[in-house]
Structure formats: structure tokens, C-alpha cells
Amino acid sequence: MRSEQARSARRSRLGPGRCPPRPHLDCAASGPQSLKLKWGDVSSTKIPPSDDMAYTLQMEDRNQRFVTIYRGRSHTYKVQRLTESSSYCFRIQAVSEAGEGPFSEPYTFSTTKSVPPALRAPRVVQLEGNVCDVTWETVPPMRGDPVSYVLQVLVGRESEYKQVFKGEEAGFQVSGLQCNTEYRFRVCVCRRCGGGPQELCGPFSPPSLLSPRRAELPLPGEPGAAEAGKAHSMISSDEQFAAVIVLGFAAFSVLMAFILQYFFMN
């Protein structure tokens, strides 16, 4: 009963046969692959909202034809599966018991650019001396926009990362490392929008830890391995010679004891 009274009151305010006016369409939020649209701002038309008011939202396709993408009573709709940094055209219509209102003028909204992805933790290899080599995976240009890389390091117990490299290369050598000190390296990708000065940087990668150690004996096949092998061989030969002398002396002692025992018993 109350619902019927509300409809009657609304019809009396609208007047007989009066269709709803054009709704105003806004973009509430935009992303790389989506647009959230809102409408139904009836305050400017002085028409109170109604439960029987429905809306038809249309989007222009590639053939420049408007296609319905939503029909219902909601005042918001999220358009998904769009292309980044692209413009899309929409129009909206209100429908009530009095009939279908006119479509609004076309509204154009644009998606944003995609943020570069996060990289895996960089690979860190200690070289000779106080130098390490840091390398990371690469990312192809994003829709024609060139990319660069930012390498940061956190030293010891410091609380803030410091930038040590920025460029298009996929690796960098860091010098001046100290033994018994922890170094954490992380890297991110920056997208240069339109080839201009504006950049869009992605999240940093997980850090890679390096604790430099003092130089150890080189592995076989590395420079200095032959000299180290010779020294190790000389040490082994001396140990073997000493072992032979000890065994020979022990055998001689046993033989002498056997001979003396034989003479005393006879």
C-alpha cells in the first residue's frame, strides 16, 4: 500500500507522462584496465530518487556504435578488461514508469598507465677484493615507453636504503665493500612515460643479502689454483714421509723385542 502511494506521489510530482531527465555521468575511479562510473545525481534536477528508476549504460565500440553494458537500478558500475592509457566513450539513460528518458551526451574517460611489475630478488656474486656483481632480470618496453632500473643498497644496521645505480643496464658492480658487514640489495623498474621526464616506478624487489668474506683458496681451474695445489701436495708428501718413518721404527722395535726374547729363552 505504501509502495503504491509512493509511486502515485512521484507521478504527481513528475506530471503525467513526464520521462526522467538525462542523468549526469562521472568517473569515480580509474585504473590501467578499469573505470568505475557513477551517475544519478538527481539533486540538480530536483527529482528525488526512486526505487523504480532504472538506468541503461552504454559504451561505444570499435565500430562507433553504442552497446549496452549495464541495465539496472544501481548508481555505479565498474567497466573492466580495458586497455591501459586509452579513452572510452559512454552515455547513460534513465528509465521510469513514465517511460524512457533521453540519453545523455557522450562522456569520455581514460584509463591510466600500468605500473611496472616487481622484479625477483637480484643475483649478487662476490668478486675479488672488495667488489660484488649485482644482476637482475629485464623488462621489455611497456607500450613503447622505455624502462630503466634503480638499484639500492642497505648497509649494516642502517635504516634507509641508498641509491647506487640508475640506468638501462641489467647489472652493476659495487666496490668498497667491507668484510663482516651485511649488504642488502634491491631493484625496481621505472617507466618513462611517453619518453619524457615523467616516470612511473614499480615496487622494489625482495632484497638479496651479501656478507663479504676474506679471500679463500681458489677453486680448481681458477688463477692461483695450481700454486695452491703444489703447496698442498708438498704438505701431503711430508706427512706421508713422517708416517713411513714412524711405522718403520715401530716395526724395528717389534723385531728387536722378538730377537731378544728368543735368545733369553734359549
Predicted pLDDT at 264: 66
DSSP-based three-state secondary structure for 89? strand
**Range 194-212 average pLDDT:** 90
Location of each CATH 2.60.40.10 domain in the chain:
2-110, 123-210
Best mean pLDDT range from 41-50, 154-163, 211-220: 154-163
pTM listed for this prediction: 0.63
Predicted pLDDT at 158: 93
DSSP codes of every residue in 132-194 = EEEE------BTTB-EEEEEEEEETT-SS-EEEEEES-SEEEE----TT--EEEEEEEEEEGG
Residue with cell 647506487: 164
Task: Calculate the dihedral angle through the C-alpha atoms of 183, 207, 199, 36, rounding to the nearest 10 degrees.
Answer: -160
Instruction: Please report, rounded to a whole number, the percentage of residues in the chain having pLDDT higher than 90.
Output: 61
Which CATH fold would you assign to the domain 123-210? Answer: Immunoglobulin-like (2.60.40)
Note the CATH number of domain 2-110.
2.60.40.10
Query: Each residue of 129-160: pLDDT tens digit?
Result: 899 999 999 999 998 899 999 999 999 999 99
The whole-angstrom separation of Cα 142 and Cα 140 is 6
